A and B are shown apart, each in its own frame.
Chain A
Amino acid sequence: MQQFAGKPLPLVDEVNFSIIRENIPIFILTRQGYLDGMGVNKDAFGAMITPGRELAPKWRARGLHLEKDVEPATFWISYNMDDPLVGKNRKLRQALSAAYDAQTYSDIFYNSVAPVAEQLVPPGIAGYSQTYRNPYGFNLEKAKQLIAEAGYPNGIDPKTGRPLEITLDMVAVGSEDRQRAEFEQRCFEKLGVKMKISENTFARLLQKQDTGDFQLSSGSGWGADYPDPENFFFLFYSKNMPPAGKNISRYNNPEFDRLFEQMATMENGPERLEIVNKINAILAEDCPNILNFHKAFYSVVQPWAPRTQDNAMLEGGVRFATVDPALRAEKQKDWNRKPLWPLAILGGLVAIGAVSAVRINRRRNA
């Protein structure tokens, strides 16, 4: 930042916000040099990031920089605690949680970069423990046992003799969403239940979450607004019910509430940590959600538009963006060399066509 000291903000003359609805063109445009930077999505990962979590040599040679952002955020699948089936059957919730393979999810969709979430609070926020393990994390054997204890051995509902039907609500617009949905479906169906996927537009999903019209809802998550665990736990506070509040799971536990109110205003210290641990234990047992992963966001920037600030929670950071237009023009030309051989082939075809026509005509008139 030092190099910019004394210069008036903003550092560029014009900022262009392009809304690109598809993932593929973003990658292609970055390769061609028409975009100054991009977030590395699932398909670009394999191409750009090595297993050692570094930028692949081919891209480093071009001068791109890799920026690793760890936004303190966690993602999960919410249960609806008011639902007569899943809300009242703790073993069932625990069983489904133990059947969910978050590591493979991260492997497929985040190239193993996003860490599996063992607890609600993400790394970087006080209260996060690197050694803590979710007692109902992925363990298929345990899951099968739990679902039998829940009253549905092998996923069969003894009342109907057929697999238990559960509905998972999510936003499914686009092929990647569908793949995620299918992955979750396959995880749960290993238990023998029948997982129905209910696809919604984002608006309808929000509406359903507000009215409580769902059993499981995927894609729930929270990014820290400020670096404090209270910001995450308040999502399960009983006084925070929708539609006014954000307690989508409708979790209502007086013991949790009591501990929450206690720690909300405490200073960080061993006492607070003890309460946080107790809260974690309660949440793990009650299982109002199935934890998925913590966000780890990689992005690449072109050599002519280096990062100038690193604060993940800063709003309006666009002020500090900077660009070297000369370098950009040069690299764009360099990376977009156009091979001419296809045009030659096309020309050849036209020539052949003309010659054949002339020959056929001559033969006909002869």
Chain B
Amino acid sequence: MEALFTHWLTQNLLVLAGFSLIAWMLWSASHHERWRRAWLRFRSDRGGIIALVVVGIYLILGALEVLSFPTKSGGTRTVLDLFVGGVPAEKSYSAPLATRLLSEAKPDPVKATHLLGTDALGKDVFVETLKACKTALIIGGLTAAIYIPLGTLFGILAGYFRRRVDDLIQYVYTTLASIPTILLLVAIILVLGKGLGTMSFALGLTAWVGLCRLIRGETLRQAERPYITAARALGQSHWNIITRHILPNVLHLVVINFVLGFSGIVLAESVLSYLGVGTPVGTPSWGNMIDSGRSELSRDPMVWWNLVSATVALFGLVLSLNLVGDSLRRAFDPKRG
């Protein structure tokens, strides 16, 4: 099963599917009045547009790392490798654009110029940072794929049906929320083993609570509206009302929550790496780079390029997501700017 999933053909298809999904969502959104109006307002916010472009760049970088094709010698190479992968690894540390290794004992000349230096095992830091985009995006995407359906579904159910259903759902998420997040994350990962999949699963399980509360609140408000009562009186089924009236009206909250929450998920990865339950060994990830950067800062000469590179990359993504989220919020509800 795992072999099928990691096969290069499947991965390429998944990337294609992902982008098509985004395109379809944009296309169907353009048919709704509310979204069209929001888009007009969003368009005039220059800061938001720039941030959106930046997010797009990250997305493309991540996709380039997933798209791969088979090579003659039997392995696979990613498209990103084509552009930057030719850089050979050194023995160990070297400073950005340096000509010699950092080691005082064996300052051998480097085999190639490294834009941002090399890390402990001699890997080029710039290339690592680019490759780690994929890890961050995958974790964010998988987690979202888990927590968004869960949160939206239960939020709507709780807000719409109220009474017993609401009580039960509230009980479940209050109980879950009382368990310290770290414990839950660490426990799940230790049981299910390390890996991008289990990390996303654990993060998704802890993230759905926030979205559920949000959607529940909005659904409660929507369900009070007269048109819903009218629809019920006309005999529309619950399913119809939920999918055709409630859902479209809470979707904007989902999008905003996703954009703002994505950054939290990516940040969580760095915390998990610090605690030792991060991505598996050998996976390029900003969290791991930051974690190694910790001890490297106290070296003399100080090895800062690992930490700084990962931080800047992470910061760029998170900041852009936050700005886009803010613009979206203003676009949908200008009064709350």
Query: Which residues of chain B come closer than 8 Å to A43, judged between CB atoms?
Result: 295-296, 298-299
> Which of chain B's residues 260-317 have a Cβ closer than 8 Å to chain A?
273, 276, 280-282, 288, 291-292, 294-301
Complex-state Cα separation, A241 to B104, whole angstroms: 44
In the bound complex, do residue A172 and residue B281 qualify as a contact, i.e. CB atoms below 8 Å apart? yes
> Which of chain A's residues 166-202 have a Cβ closer than 8 Å to chain B?
172-176, 178-179, 181-183, 185-186, 197, 199, 201
> Which of chain A's residues 35-88 have a Cβ closer than 8 Å to chain B?
43-44, 46-48, 50-51
Assuming the contacts A182-B282, A186-B121, A199-B281, asked whether A51 and B296 have C-beta atoms less than 8 A apart, the reply is no
Shortest Cβ gap from A198 to chain B (Å):
9
In the bound complex, do residue B291 and residue A175 qualify as a contact, i.e. CB atoms below 8 Å apart? yes
Query: Which residues of chain B come closer than 8 Å to A104, judged between CB atoms?
Result: 91
Q: By DSSP majority rule, is chain A's interface helix, strand, loop, or mixed?
A: helix
In the bound complex, do residue A24 and residue B295 qualify as a contact, i.e. CB atoms below 8 Å apart? yes
**CB-nearest residue of chain A to B278:** A178
**CB-nearest residue of chain B to A170:** B281
**CB-nearest residue of chain B to A160:** B3
Option from B91, B104, B105, B288 in Cβ contact (under 8 Å) with A178: B288
**CB-nearest residue of chain B to A45:** B299
Assuming the contacts A182-B121, A197-B280, A199-B194, asked whether A175 and B292 have C-beta atoms less than 8 A apart, the reply is yes
Stretch at the interface among A107-115, A144-152, A265-273, A285-293: A107-115
Interface size on B, residues (CB 8 A): 29
Shortest Cβ gap from B89 to chain A (Å):
8
Shortest Cβ gap from B68 to chain A (Å):
15
Complex-state Cα separation, A27 to B302, whole angstroms: 13
In the bound complex, do residue B281 and residue A108 qualify as a contact, i.e. CB atoms below 8 Å apart? no
| CB of A156 closer than 8 Å to a CB of B | yes
Complex-state Cα separation, A51 to B92, whole angstroms: 16
| CB of B120 closer than 8 Å to a CB of A | yes
In the bound complex, do residue B91 and residue A199 qualify as a contact, i.e. CB atoms below 8 Å apart? no
Query: Which residues of chain A come closer than 8 Å to B106, judged between CB atoms?
Result: 51, 107, 112
> Which of chain B's residues 83-108 have a Cβ closer than 8 Å to chain A?
91-92, 102-106
Query: Which residues of chain A come closer than 8 Å to B190, judged between CB atoms?
Result: 201
Query: Which residues of chain A come closer than 8 Å to B3, judged between CB atoms?
Result: 162
Option from A22, A24, A46 in Cβ contact (under 8 Å) with B104: A46
Complex-state Cα separation, A108 to B294, whole angstroms: 17
Query: Which residues of chain A come closer than 8 Å to B92, judged between CB atoms?
Result: 107-108
Query: Which residues of chain B come closer than 8 Å to A181, judged between CB atoms?
Result: 281-282
| CB of A28 closer than 8 Å to a CB of B | yes
Complex-state Cα separation, A23 to B298, whole angstroms: 9
Interface size on A, residues (CB 8 A): 35
Query: Which residues of chain B come closer than 8 Å to A172, judged between CB atoms?
Result: 276, 281
Query: Which residues of chain B come closer than 8 Å to A50, judged between CB atoms?
Result: 104
In the bound complex, do residue B105 and residue A112 qualify as a contact, i.e. CB atoms below 8 Å apart? yes
Query: Which residues of chain B come closer than 8 Å to A107, judged between CB atoms?
Result: 91-92, 103, 105-106
> Which of chain A's residues 106-163 have a Cβ closer than 8 Å to chain B?
107-108, 111-112, 154, 156, 162
> Residue-by-residue, is B127-168 near A (CB-CB < 8 Å gives 1, otherwise 0)?
000000000000000000000000000000000000000000
Query: Which residues of chain A come closer than 8 Å to B297, judged between CB atoms?
Result: 24
Shortest Cβ gap from B286 to chain A (Å):
13
| CB of B74 closer than 8 Å to a CB of A | yes
In the bound complex, do residue B105 and residue A182 qualify as a contact, i.e. CB atoms below 8 Å apart? no
In the bound complex, do residue A175 and residue B105 qualify as a contact, i.e. CB atoms below 8 Å apart? no
Shortest Cβ gap from B104 to chain A (Å):
5
**CB-nearest residue of chain B to A195:** B282
In the bound complex, do residue A46 and residue B301 qualify as a contact, i.e. CB atoms below 8 Å apart? yes
Option from B103, B194, B294, B301 in Cβ contact (under 8 Å) with A24: B294
**CB-nearest residue of chain A to B290:** A175
Complex-state Cα separation, A112 to B91, whole angstroms: 12
In the bound complex, do residue A47 and residue B121 qualify as a contact, i.e. CB atoms below 8 Å apart? no
Listed residue (B92, B103, B104) with the most chain A CB atoms within 10 angstroms of its CB: B104
Option from A111, A162, A182 in Cβ contact (under 8 Å) with B281: A182
Listed residue (A43, A48, A104, A173) with the most chain B CB atoms within 10 angstroms of its CB: A43
Assuming the contacts A46-B301, A107-B105, A199-B194, asked whether A185 and B295 have C-beta atoms less than 8 A apart, the reply is no
Query: Which residues of chain B come closer than 8 Å to A51, judged between CB atoms?
Result: 104-106
Option from B74, B104, B273, B276 in Cβ contact (under 8 Å) with A156: B74
Shortest Cβ gap from A103 to chain B (Å):
10
Complex-state Cα separation, A154 to B281, whole angstroms: 23
Complex-state Cα separation, A44 to B300, whole angstroms: 7
Complex-state Cα separation, A50 to B106, whole angstroms: 11
Assuming the contacts A108-B92, A178-B288, asked whether A197 and B276 have C-beta atoms less than 8 A apart, the reply is no
Shortest Cβ gap from B162 to chain A (Å):
45
Complex-state Cα separation, A200 to B314, whole angstroms: 28
Complex-state Cα separation, A111 to B92, whole angstroms: 11
Complex-state Cα separation, A46 to B3, whole angstroms: 43
Assuming the contacts A27-B298, A104-B91, A175-B294, asked whether A46 and B103 have C-beta atoms less than 8 A apart, the reply is yes
Shortest Cβ gap from B123 to chain A (Å):
9
Assuming the contacts A46-B104, A182-B282, asked whether A108 and B91 have C-beta atoms less than 8 A apart, the reply is yes
Query: Which residues of chain B come closer than 8 Å to A154, judged between CB atoms?
Result: 74
What 9 A-B pairs have minimum CB-CB distances, sorted nearest first? A47-B300, A175-B292, A51-B105, A197-B281, A175-B291, A181-B281, A173-B276, A24-B298, A43-B299
A22-B294, A51-B106, A182-B281 given; 6 more Cβ-contact pairs under 8 Å: A22-B295, A24-B297, A43-B295, A43-B296, A174-B276, A182-B121
- Interface pairs (30), CB distance under 8 Å: A22-B295, A23-B295, A24-B297, A27-B298, A28-B298, A43-B298, A44-B298, A46-B102, A46-B103, A47-B299, A47-B301, A48-B300, A50-B104, A107-B106, A108-B121, A112-B106, A172-B281, A173-B276, A174-B291, A175-B273, A175-B288, A175-B291, A176-B295, A181-B281, A182-B281, A183-B121, A197-B281, A199-B280, A199-B281, A201-B190
